């Protein structure tokens, strides 16, 4: 488990980017999972478009982090990001597993 600092890019009332907002620190376990997402044309309207794009970019595996369900992890939203070993990772999907853990799909940016 590694502590990671989560950030969010906010925009002001005029739509201009502001400084990154610090969300919190979570303990996370990084791992790679098989890319076994299968989508039919009928399902496309209910699937996060970022996941569809991500599936085409990484055909063999999906990068994920596993975090416990707690106060800090509840603050995390899709499009939040963190840095690990000088690489920026964006949270694509925040999968809640029965209010026990979050199994988040991440993408290197």
Q: Where are the domains of the chain?
A: 2-108
Task: Note the pTM of the prediction, 2 decimals.
Answer: 0.75
Q: What is the DSSP string of 79-106?
A: T-EEEETTEEEEEEEEEEETTTEEEEEE
Q: CATH 1.10.1140: does it fit domain 2-108? A: no
pLDDT at 42: 55
The tens digit of pLDDT for each residue in 82-102 reads 999 899 999 999 999 999 999
Longest dimension (CA), the chain: 41
What three-state secondary structure class fits 46?
helix
């Amino acid at each position: 488990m590694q502590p990671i600092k989560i950030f969010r890019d906010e925009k002001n009332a005029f739509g201009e980017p502001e400084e990154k907002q610090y969300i919190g620190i979570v303990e996370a376990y990084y791992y790679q999972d098989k890319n076994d997402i299968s989508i039919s044309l009928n399902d496309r309207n209910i699937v996060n478009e970022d996941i569809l794009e991500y599936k085409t970019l990484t055909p063999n595996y999906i990068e994920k982090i596993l975090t416990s369900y707690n106060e800090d992890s509840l603050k995390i939203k899709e499009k939040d990001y963190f840095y690990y070993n000088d690489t920026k990772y964006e949270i694509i999907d925040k999968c809640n597993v029965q209010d026990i853990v979050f199994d988040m799909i991440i993408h290197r940016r």
